[in-house]
Amino acid sequence: MNYDDIYEAVKKIPRGKVATYGQIASLAGNPKGARAVGNALHRNPSPDTVPCYRVVNSAGKLSGRFAFGGPEIQAELLENDGIEVIDHTVDLKKYLADFEGENEKMKRSLIVAGADIGDYGRIKSRIEPDDFIICCDSGLKHCAPLGIEPDLIIGDFDSWENPGSDTETIVLPVIKDDTDSAFAVKEALKRGFEDFLLIGVFGGRLDHTLGNIGLLLAIDSAGKKATALDDFSEVTIAGSEPSYITDDFGFFSLLSVDGVAGEITITGAKYPLENASIGADFPLGVSNEVLPGETACVTVGKGRLALFRIFK
């Protein structure tokens, strides 16, 4: 991604819409390049043809500077486009550009929360070089052991100090409805990511763990793919699309997390099922095993289940 790529991406923002630095970075071919977008727009050689004033941060906030002269002039230019600006902020739900087909360039979002991790090696082996890394508050403690640097930091910083770095940071109020991890998921969805890996979300307080399983449901409801990893298992949501479990895993479990699930079929396993139901009041799906040399298959005709693939 070079500056010309960025300028061409900015030219795609239609009148009456805005885009975030992250969107422009993705359009230009590097989802991790939001900071480079800012640098490029600060040096915009052709503000008359490259509408950099239509780029805002992930919260809809206007820039404090850039080629068009700062937030007051940026607000005036946006208002001339028909965009309402209140307190130097644009309502992204109303004005965010939707680049049809461009989300194919989006890579995976890796969301790092603050639960303890014992086996960093296992987690590290699952991280990809082009993951867009979002650290949530005390999830920052995992950066050094995992050898990663965040692309975005989110938190109310009640459990970890705000590093005050140049990395894009969204500071949340302590009193709020969303947990830091929930806000991170919503932010990544808003930026167009299709695939999610969540780490540091299980362990410690059980209520936090159960709440974070709810995030897997939320991502699934948005039609996206999500996996959560801890020291013992990887967790996904099983539904009508087949879910497969290889015999590399020691066990697998299916648990009700979204009401009673029905029309459940399990094949290739020690305990097969056909047209069964699983609810929260009886743990029928706990500790199944893949037959040696086989691959188990799970389908859920009605509802959804949490699928735990247990490491050997």
- pLDDT, tens only, 12-65: 999 999 998 888 988 888 877 777 888 888 888 888 889 999 998 877 888 765
Cross-strand partners of 298: 243, 266
Q: Are 302 and 262 in contact (CB under 8 A)?
A: yes
pLDDT tens digits, 216-259 = 999 999 999 999 999 999 999 999 899 999 999 999 999 999 99
Domains of the chain: 3-101 (1.10.10.10), 106-225 (3.40.50.10240), 237-311 (2.60.120.320)
Q: How far apart are CA 302 and CA 282, in angstroms?
A: 17
pLDDT tens digits, 178-215 = 999 999 999 999 888 889 999 999 988 899 999 999 99
Q: Which of 65, 67, 69, 90 is nearest to 78 (CA)?
A: 90
Q: How far apart are CA 86 and CA 148, in angstroms?
A: 36
